[in-house]
Amino acid sequence: MRRDVPFPTSGRHFRLVLVAAMSCLFLLGGTQVAAGVSAAASSTRSQKLAKALKACKKQPRQRRASCVKRAKKKYGPHPSTSPTGPATPTSPLAPPAAAPPASVAPPGPTLEWLQQELTTGHQAAPVGANQQVVSLVIVSRGTPRHGSGVPKREGGDEVLATTWIYPIVFTYDFHYEGTRLNKKFESENYPEIYHYHVEAQAQFDASAVWVLRNPSGGGGGSTCTSEPVQFVC
């Protein structure tokens, strides 16, 4: 039958047990003190945050959001640094940046493309059998550049930074055969010619598509005269 071993009250074993017990009590007390200090600090930061947020409410409306953001950044809770706590989720990697636009401009718009754009393109007026676009000449070509990629309200040109812009000035005649009543109230055809002088932009986008744009819109970058009846159109 096993005999109970008496607890030592003196000697070397007693001193070792006593030292171990005191060490445990010291560590436990230190942990509690640290926890108390951390709780007090957290309480103080919470009070300061509440006071700062209250002050933000007295700011003008357009400044409240930035005031609240600063207060939360300064007095908000710190993220946990405990190795046993949950791992802080890492933000996903940002997508790779878009490739920079080409630095060498492609060849500019051709006269054939411009003729087609004025005749059958998306900016052309309906051209019937009795109408013609003739005498097309590109008067001048500006220096090609990339779009700013910035809206007009912010001082940009509202063209993507990957799009090439070619300023061009061209002239052409639009021949039109109209119908009118003569003095005998008989229907007769008569020729009419419109002379156009246009300042526009030919744009070459990243998908290799040409588009004709008039920066002034609605013919604001163009001038026009007509004959035989002279008037500015």
pLDDT number for residue 230:
63
pLDDT number for residue 174:
84
Mean pLDDT to the nearest integer, 101-124: 79
Instruction: Note down the domain range covering 190.
Output: 111-227
pLDDT number for residue 219:
44
Could you tell me if 68 and 144 lie in one domain?
Answer: no
Q: What is the pTM of this model?
A: 0.48
Closest CA to 228 of 194, 189, 203: 194
Asked if 215 contacts 209 with a C-beta cutoff of 8 angstroms, the reply is no
pLDDT number for residue 110:
92
- Burial grade of 198 (CB within 10 A; 0-12, 13-18, 19 or more): buried
Could you tell me if 55 and 129 lie in one domain?
Answer: no
* Stronger pLDDT, 221 or 95, i.e. the higher one: 221
Query: How many structural domains comprise the chain?
Result: 2
* Stronger pLDDT, 217 or 94, i.e. the higher one: 94
* Stronger pLDDT, 184 or 24, i.e. the higher one: 184
d(CA 140, CA 169): 5
Whether 6 maps to a domain, the answer reads no
Could you tell me if 121 and 222 lie in one domain?
Answer: yes
Could you tell me if 67 and 116 lie in one domain?
Answer: no
- Burial grade of 125 (CB within 10 A; 0-12, 13-18, 19 or more): exposed
* Stronger pLDDT, 135 or 3, i.e. the higher one: 135
Which tens digit of pLDDT belongs to each residue from 120-152? Answer: 765 555 555 567 888 999 999 999 999 999 998
The DSSP-derived string for the chain is -PPPPPPP-SHHHHHHHHHHHHHHHHHHHHHHHHHHHHHHHHHHHHHHHHHHHHHHTTS-HHHHHHHHHHHHHHHSPPPP--TTSPPPPPPPPPPPPPPPPPSSPPP---HHHHHHHHHHSTTPPP--TTEEEEEEEEEEE---EE---S-GGGTS-S--TTSEEEEEEEEEEEEEEEEEE-TTS-EEEEEEEEEEEEEEEEEE-TTS-EEEE-TTSTTTTEEEEEESS--B-
Whether 103 maps to a domain, the answer reads no
Whether 3 maps to a domain, the answer reads no
Whether 182 maps to a domain, the answer reads yes
Q: Which pair of tokens denotes residue 175?
A: 């021949």
Could you tell me if 63 and 166 lie in one domain?
Answer: no
pLDDT number for residue 139:
93
Could you tell me if 116 and 54 lie in one domain?
Answer: no
Could you tell me if 50 and 139 lie in one domain?
Answer: no
Q: Name the domain boundary from 75, 94, 126.
A: 75
Q: Please give the mean pLDDT across all residues of the chain.
A: 73
Which tens digit of pLDDT belongs to each residue from 14-35? Answer: 566 555 656 555 554 545 544 5
Could you tell me if 117 and 47 lie in one domain?
Answer: no
d(CA 195, CA 223): 8
Whether 82 maps to a domain, the answer reads no
Q: Name the domain boundary from 75, 96, 129.
A: 75
Whether 97 maps to a domain, the answer reads no
In the structure, what pLDDT confidence band is assigned to residue 57 with cuts at 50, 70 and 90?
A: confident
Could you tell me if 146 and 198 lie in one domain?
Answer: yes
Could you tell me if 141 and 185 lie in one domain?
Answer: yes
Could you tell me if 147 and 41 lie in one domain?
Answer: no
Whether 171 maps to a domain, the answer reads yes
Whether 21 maps to a domain, the answer reads yes
d(CA 4, CA 28): 30
Could you tell me if 125 and 218 lie in one domain?
Answer: yes
Residue 97, pLDDT > 60, answer no
